[in-house]
Amino acid sequence: MTSTIQLDTTSFMQIFEQLQGMILPLCLFSFLATATPGPNNILLTVSGNQFGFRRSLPFLIGIRLGIGVIFFMMGTGVGSLILSYPKYYLTLKYLGAAYLIYLASAHP
């Protein structure tokens, strides 16, 4: 016995329309994050100049992996999941603020 999967064309079109609305903002963010001289690119330039390419390579890989994680989280809808549970969103905000305060106090 073989099972067949039948797609409902209306649900497929609804999913396609939702994805179509997300592609442009994702492409725009990814272009701006990589093409503009933001803090990551400036730090990589300084690090490469000061320490050389080989010693700056782990820094480069870390930045690329971090951006990959951000894109993955955007693509899987983690942001809308957090926004749908306000208690977790508030907890995440407080944890982020506490971490920033820790960083500011630990490295004057």
Q: Is the pLDDT of residue 85 over 60?
A: yes
Q: Is the pLDDT of residue 26 over 90?
A: no
Q: Which residue has the tokens 């000061």?
A: 50
At 31-57, the pLDDT tens digits run: 887 777 788 888 999 999 999 999 999
- pLDDT bin (cut points 50, 70, 90) of residue 81 is confident
Residue 106 pLDDT: 84
Rounded CA separation 35/75 (Å): 20
Pick the residue with more confidence: 39 or 14?
Answer: 39
Q: Is the pLDDT of residue 64 over 60?
A: yes
